[in-house]
C-alpha cells in the first residue's frame, strides 16, 4: 500500500514511518515539507501521490500553550484536519487520525472505553475532539486512534525530561494525582500497522495496558536508568499552577481492539523496559 505520514519529524511520526516501511511503500513528510495548515499544499501532495492511506501524526500538542494560543491550536488540530479529511474523502483515501486521552474529562474513576462520551476540559482536548469530528464527518474511510502519555526515542517527552533532570542530581517533584497509560511510540506504531492490515475502521483506544501516575512512572524511569540516589517527591497538580487543567483519570481501555481479535498492547512497564532496551542498543550501535 502507498502510505503518507504527516508530522514525520516528530517522535511518533518517525517511528510510524520506520515501522510501516517494513511492509508498505511509505513517504514521510516533516513540517517543512508539508505544512498541513496550507490547504493548497495538502491538495497538491495528495493529488500528486494518490495515497491509499494517510497517517495524520502532525498536531499542535503543547497542552499549556494551547490555553492562550487558541487560534493556532484550532488552526492545526481543527481546520487543518478538516482540510485533510475532506481531501481524503474526495480522493477515496483512508485516513488514520491520531487523537488523545485528553478528549475525556477525567471524572470516570475506572477509565474510558471507546463507547464513552468525550468531554474535554482544556483547549488542547477540545481541538483534538474537533479534529475527530471532522474526520468522522468528512472521510468515510477512517480510523481514529486515541492514545496517551507518549514517549519515544526522538523529541522531548516525559521520559527524556526525567532522565535529563536526574543527570543534574535532582531532587524531583512529580505529580501524583493524575493517572493514565504511558505508551511507547514504537509499540503504538506497530499497533497502527496491524490495524491498517486489518482495514479496521472507527474509533480505537491504542495505549499500553495498566495505569500509573506521573510520579509512579518517574520512579520506574529512575529505577531502569539506575538513579537510585535521586530524591523523588510526590506533589499535587494544583501545586504546579499550570494554565491548562488536566483530567485526573485518563486511562484508556481498548475494548474494540479485543473485538477485532488482536492482542492488547503490552503493560506499560513492559513498554518502558522495551524503550530502555532500544535506547541501550542505539547507544551501542
Q: How many angstroms separate the CA atoms of 35 and 103, rounded?
A: 24
Q: How many angstroms separate the CA atoms of 75 and 69, rounded?
A: 10
Contact 30, 208 (CB under 8 A): no
> ∠ CA 116-118-123 to the nearest 5 degrees?
160
Q: How many angstroms separate the CA atoms of 74 and 3, rounded?
A: 26
Q: How many angstroms separate the CA atoms of 107 and 251, rounded?
A: 11
Q: Catalytic residue among 124, 151, 227, 275, which?
A: 124
> ∠ CA 171-174-175 to the nearest 5 degrees?
160
131 CB-side CA count, 13 A? 36
248 CB-side CA count, 13 A? 7
Four-residue CA torsion sign, 41, 7, 281, 156: positive
Contact 235, 209 (CB under 8 A): no
Supply 113's cell numbers: 472505553
Contact 123, 67 (CB under 8 A): yes
Neighbouring C-beta atoms of residue 141, cutoff 10 Å: 15
Q: How many angstroms separate the CA atoms of 215 and 178, rounded?
A: 9
Q: How many angstroms separate the CA atoms of 36 and 84, rounded?
A: 8
124 is catalytic: yes
Catalytic residue positions, numbered: 124
Amino acid at each position: 500500500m502507498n502510505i503518507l505520514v504527516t508530522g514525520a519529524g516528530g517522535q511518533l511520526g518517525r517511528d510510524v514511518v520506520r515501522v510501516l516501511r517494513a511492509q508498505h511503500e511509505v513517504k514521510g513528510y516533516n513540517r517543512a515539507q508539508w505544512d498541513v495548515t496550507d490547504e493548497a499544499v495538502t491538495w497538491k501532495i495528495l493529488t500528486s501521490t494518490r495515497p491509499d492511506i494517510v497517517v495524520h501524526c502532525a498536531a499542535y500538542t503543547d497542552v499549556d500553550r494551547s490555553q492562550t494560543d487558541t487560534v493556532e491550536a484550532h488552526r492545526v488540530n481543527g481546520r487543518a484536519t478538516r482540510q485533510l479529511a475532506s481531501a481524503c474523502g474526495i480522493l477515496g483515501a483512508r485516513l488514520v487520525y491520531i487523537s488523545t486521552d485528553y478528549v475525556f474529562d477525567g471524572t470516570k474513576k475506572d477509565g474510558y472505553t471507546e463507547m464513552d462520551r468525550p468531554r474535554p476540559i482544556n483547549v488542547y482536548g477540545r481541538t483534538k475532539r474537533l479534529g475527530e469530528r471532522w474526520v468522522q464527518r468528512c472521510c468515510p474511510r477512517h480510523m481514529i486512534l486515541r492514545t496517551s502519555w507518549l514517549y519515544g526515542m526522538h523529541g522531548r517527552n516525559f521520559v527524556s525530561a526525567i532522565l535529563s533532570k536526574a543527570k543534574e542530581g535532582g531532587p524531583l517533584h512529580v505529580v501524583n494525582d493524575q493517572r493514565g497509560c504511558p505508551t511507547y511510540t514504537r509499540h503504538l506504531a506497530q499497533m497502527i500497522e496491524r490495524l491498517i492490515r486489518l482495514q479496521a475502521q472507527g474509533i480505537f483506544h491504542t495505549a499500553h495496558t495498566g495505569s500509573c501516575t506521573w510520579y509512579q512512572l518517574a520512579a520506574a524511569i529512575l529505577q531502569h536508568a539506575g538513579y537510585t540516589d535521586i530524591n523523588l517527591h510526590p506533589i499535587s497538580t494544583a501545586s504546579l499552577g499550570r494554565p491548562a487543567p488536566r483530567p485526573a483519570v485518563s486511562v484508556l481501555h481498548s475494548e474494540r481492539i479485543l473485538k477485532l481479535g488482536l492482542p492488547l498492547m503490552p503493560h506499560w512497564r513492559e513498554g518502558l523496559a522495551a524503550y530502555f532496551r532500544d535506547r541501550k542498543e542505539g547507544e551501542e550501535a
